Amino acid sequence: MGYRVGMLIPGEPNLVYNGLVFATEAEASASGEELMSRWIVPSGYEVVEVAEEPNYTFTDGHAQPVPVTPTYNHAFDLAWAVPGSQYEHAEDCLNNERELVLAELRKRVRDLTATDEYYEAIGSFDTYVEEEESNA
Protein backbone atom coordinates (compact mmCIF):
# COMPACT_ATOMS: atom_id res chain seq x y z
CA MET A 1 0.00 0.00 0.00
CA GLY A 2 1.24 3.49 -0.82
CA TYR A 3 0.25 7.08 -1.55
CA ARG A 4 0.07 8.99 -4.83
CA VAL A 5 -0.22 12.69 -5.56
CA GLY A 6 -3.13 13.65 -7.80
CA MET A 7 -2.82 17.08 -9.37
CA LEU A 8 -5.89 19.28 -9.84
CA ILE A 9 -5.64 20.63 -13.38
CA PRO A 10 -8.20 23.24 -14.51
CA GLY A 11 -10.47 21.76 -17.19
CA GLU A 12 -9.63 18.15 -16.24
CA PRO A 13 -12.54 16.25 -14.65
CA ASN A 14 -10.24 13.88 -12.69
CA LEU A 15 -7.02 14.10 -10.75
CA VAL A 16 -3.91 13.70 -12.91
CA TYR A 17 -1.21 11.32 -11.67
CA ASN A 18 2.35 10.46 -12.52
CA GLY A 19 3.86 7.04 -11.78
CA LEU A 20 5.29 7.93 -8.36
CA VAL A 21 4.03 6.00 -5.32
CA PHE A 22 5.30 6.91 -1.84
CA ALA A 23 5.38 4.88 1.36
CA THR A 24 3.87 7.60 3.54
CA GLU A 25 1.20 10.24 3.21
CA ALA A 26 3.75 12.83 4.40
CA GLU A 27 6.16 11.97 1.56
CA ALA A 28 3.38 12.19 -1.01
CA SER A 29 2.23 15.54 0.41
CA ALA A 30 5.78 16.91 0.35
CA SER A 31 6.04 15.80 -3.28
CA GLY A 32 2.75 17.58 -4.06
CA GLU A 33 4.02 20.77 -2.42
CA GLU A 34 7.25 20.55 -4.41
CA LEU A 35 5.34 20.08 -7.67
CA MET A 36 3.10 23.07 -6.85
CA SER A 37 6.22 25.23 -6.27
CA ARG A 38 7.39 24.78 -9.86
CA TRP A 39 4.25 24.09 -11.91
CA ILE A 40 1.99 26.97 -12.88
CA VAL A 41 -0.98 25.04 -14.32
CA PRO A 42 -2.23 22.95 -11.35
CA SER A 43 -4.64 24.62 -8.94
CA GLY A 44 -3.86 22.15 -6.15
CA TYR A 45 -3.26 18.52 -5.31
CA GLU A 46 -4.68 15.67 -3.29
CA VAL A 47 -2.91 12.72 -1.70
CA VAL A 48 -4.65 9.41 -2.41
CA GLU A 49 -4.02 6.04 -0.78
CA VAL A 50 -3.45 3.28 -3.37
CA ALA A 51 -2.88 -0.47 -3.32
CA GLU A 52 0.42 -0.14 -5.21
CA GLU A 53 3.81 -0.71 -3.63
CA PRO A 54 5.99 2.38 -3.09
CA ASN A 55 8.51 3.03 -5.85
CA TYR A 56 9.80 6.46 -4.72
CA THR A 57 10.92 8.21 -1.56
CA PHE A 58 10.88 11.95 -0.96
CA THR A 59 14.03 13.18 0.77
CA ASP A 60 15.91 16.48 0.79
CA GLY A 61 13.20 18.11 -1.32
CA HIS A 62 13.40 15.59 -4.18
CA ALA A 63 11.68 12.41 -5.26
CA GLN A 64 14.17 9.55 -5.50
CA PRO A 65 13.51 6.07 -6.95
CA VAL A 66 13.48 3.26 -4.42
CA PRO A 67 16.55 1.14 -5.15
CA VAL A 68 15.51 -2.08 -6.84
CA THR A 69 17.21 -5.26 -5.72
CA PRO A 70 17.84 -7.34 -8.82
CA THR A 71 16.39 -10.81 -9.09
CA TYR A 72 17.98 -13.65 -10.99
CA ASN A 73 16.75 -16.57 -13.06
CA HIS A 74 18.79 -19.76 -12.57
CA ALA A 75 18.60 -22.78 -14.84
CA PHE A 76 19.24 -26.17 -13.20
CA ASP A 77 19.47 -29.74 -14.32
CA LEU A 78 18.68 -32.79 -12.24
CA ALA A 79 20.51 -36.12 -12.27
CA TRP A 80 18.57 -39.38 -11.95
CA ALA A 81 18.81 -42.92 -13.19
CA VAL A 82 16.37 -45.00 -15.21
CA PRO A 83 16.99 -48.66 -14.34
CA GLY A 84 15.32 -51.47 -16.26
CA SER A 85 15.43 -49.82 -19.70
CA GLN A 86 15.12 -52.09 -22.73
CA TYR A 87 17.42 -49.77 -24.77
CA GLU A 88 21.20 -49.55 -24.93
CA HIS A 89 21.26 -45.78 -25.70
CA ALA A 90 19.79 -43.11 -23.41
CA GLU A 91 18.25 -41.23 -26.35
CA ASP A 92 16.29 -44.34 -27.35
CA CYS A 93 15.13 -44.72 -23.75
CA LEU A 94 13.89 -41.08 -23.73
CA ASN A 95 12.12 -41.53 -27.06
CA ASN A 96 10.51 -44.90 -26.36
CA GLU A 97 10.09 -45.28 -22.58
CA ARG A 98 8.51 -41.99 -21.61
CA GLU A 99 6.43 -43.38 -18.73
CA LEU A 100 9.42 -45.21 -17.23
CA VAL A 101 11.61 -42.09 -17.47
CA LEU A 102 8.95 -39.86 -15.87
CA ALA A 103 8.17 -42.42 -13.14
CA GLU A 104 11.86 -42.54 -12.17
CA LEU A 105 12.05 -38.73 -12.27
CA ARG A 106 9.08 -38.44 -9.89
CA LYS A 107 10.70 -41.03 -7.60
CA ARG A 108 13.98 -39.08 -7.63
CA VAL A 109 12.24 -35.83 -6.69
CA ARG A 110 10.41 -37.60 -3.83
CA ASP A 111 13.71 -39.07 -2.63
CA LEU A 112 15.45 -35.69 -2.73
CA THR A 113 12.87 -34.18 -0.43
CA ALA A 114 13.58 -36.92 2.14
CA THR A 115 17.42 -37.08 1.93
CA ASP A 116 20.52 -34.86 1.96
CA GLU A 117 21.49 -35.66 -1.65
CA TYR A 118 20.19 -32.30 -2.87
CA TYR A 119 23.57 -30.86 -3.92
CA GLU A 120 24.75 -34.08 -5.52
CA ALA A 121 21.69 -34.37 -7.75
CA ILE A 122 21.27 -30.79 -8.96
CA GLY A 123 23.62 -28.69 -11.09
CA SER A 124 23.30 -25.23 -12.52
CA PHE A 125 24.22 -24.25 -16.06
CA ASP A 126 22.92 -20.72 -16.65
CA THR A 127 21.94 -17.54 -14.78
CA TYR A 128 20.71 -14.15 -15.92
CA VAL A 129 19.38 -10.97 -14.31
CA GLU A 130 15.63 -10.73 -14.71
CA GLU A 131 14.21 -7.60 -16.30
CA GLU A 132 12.81 -5.18 -13.76
CA GLU A 133 9.60 -3.27 -14.27
CA SER A 134 9.81 0.45 -14.86
CA ASN A 135 9.51 2.52 -11.68
CA ALA A 136 7.79 5.49 -13.24
Q: What is the pLDDT of residues 56-99, one digit of tens each?
A: 999 999 999 998 889 999 999 999 999 999 999 999 999 999 99
59 and 6: one domain? yes
CA distance 27 to 34: 11
Do 60 and 95 have their domain in common? no
Range of the domain at 24: 2-65
User: How much is the pLDDT for 135?
Assistant: 40
- Examine the pLDDT at 133 and tell me if it is beyond 90: no
Q: 123 with 98, same domain?
A: yes
Domain boundary among 65, 80, 110: 65
Residues 60 and 96 in one domain: no
The answer to whether 117 and 80 are in contact (CB under 8 A) is no
Single out the residue in 65, 81, 106 at which a domain terminates.
65
- Residue-level pLDDT at 132: 62
pLDDT of res. 134: 44
Residue 136: the pLDDT is 42
Residues 82 and 103 reside in one and the same domain? yes
pTM of the model: 0.55
Q: Is residue 136 part of a domain?
A: no
Is residue 20 scored above 50 in pLDDT? yes
The model's pLDDT over 29-58, given as tens digits with 9 standing for 90+, comes to: 999 999 999 999 999 999 999 999 999 999
Q: Are residues 39 and 80 part of one domain?
A: no
